[in-house]
Amino acid sequence: MKRLVLLTAAGLAVVALAGAVGLPDLAGAQAPATETDSITTVGVGTVDAVPNEAQMSFGAETRRPTAEAAVSANADAMRKIINALRQAGGRELATQWVSVYPYTDDSGQVNGYAASNSVSAVSDVGDAPKLIDAAAQAGANQISGPGLSSSNAEALYRQALAKAVDAARLNAEALAKASGRSLGAITTVVEGASTSPEPMYRTAAQAADSSTPIVPGEQKTSATVTVTFSLR
């Protein structure tokens, strides 16, 4: 019994000593996270380029007393147009639509049937006039376009993105300087919605006695980013 009492007393002495010295406070060992000041700005970047590709549509409409005759005549006409487009340097030819419908006179009487067919073709801008002239000479009576674009559109957009980040940095530097601070590292970058290239002025396409002139205007490719910088 005496031995048990002595051991208990020794244990209490150890606890008391630990309290006097002070054990580490594990609950308070983690320092609270400090919030870093930041600034968020929006930047817009643009790149101007002259498009080098043209996309156009070429078609023919034929009218005959019966639907079968209209379709047959239209097929012959389109084969000539497609062959002429290929010889003129057209590429990526693709059928856009085929349609057959009756046409009537003023009284509503069906006078026959019309068949229509249209194909799209892509060419270099410099070859576009040749395609238009070749298709017209081959019998195309429905021509539309051109839709102008750049073959390196993705590269142009990436250039615009880089310019947008630079613009966001300039905006952030101005705000930071006005508040007596300086910029730190970029913490987040968010890309805005991409936009299609916009013509800086209207593209002109006029019929002429010789070759059809195509004047490609410059196009503007834009990009928007939202950037957050830390502040020092």
**Domain of residue 209, CATH code:** 3.30.110.170
Structure tokens at 178: 């006005």
From 124, 149, 174, give the residue that closes a domain.
Answer: 149
pTM above 0.75, yes or no: no
Same domain, 69 and 139: yes
Decide if 211 is inside a domain: yes
CATH of residue 91's domain is: 3.30.70.2970
- Expressed as residue numbers, the domain containing 217 is 38-50+152-231
What is the structure's pLDDT at 201? 38
| Mean pLDDT, the chain, whole residue set | 82
pLDDT at 9 over 90: no
pLDDT band of 8, cuts 50, 70, 90: very low
Same domain, 156 and 140: no
154-200, pLDDT tens digit by residue?
999 999 999 999 999 999 999 999 999 999 999 999 998 666 565 54
Q: Angle at the Cα of 146 (from 142 to 148), degrees rounded to 5? A: 160
Average pLDDT over residues 99-122: 93
Rounded to an integer, the average pLDDT of 40-62 is 94
Q: What is the pLDDT of residue 212?
A: 72
Backbone angles phi, psi at 177, to 5 degrees: -60, -40
User: In the chain, pLDDT over 70 holds for what percent of residues?
Assistant: 76
Total domains in the fold of the chain: 2
Q: For residue 32, tell me if it sits in a domain.
A: no
CA dist 176 and 46 (Å) reads 24
| Residues 60 and 135 occupy one common structural domain | yes
Instruction: Return the structure tokens found at 132.
Output: 């238009």
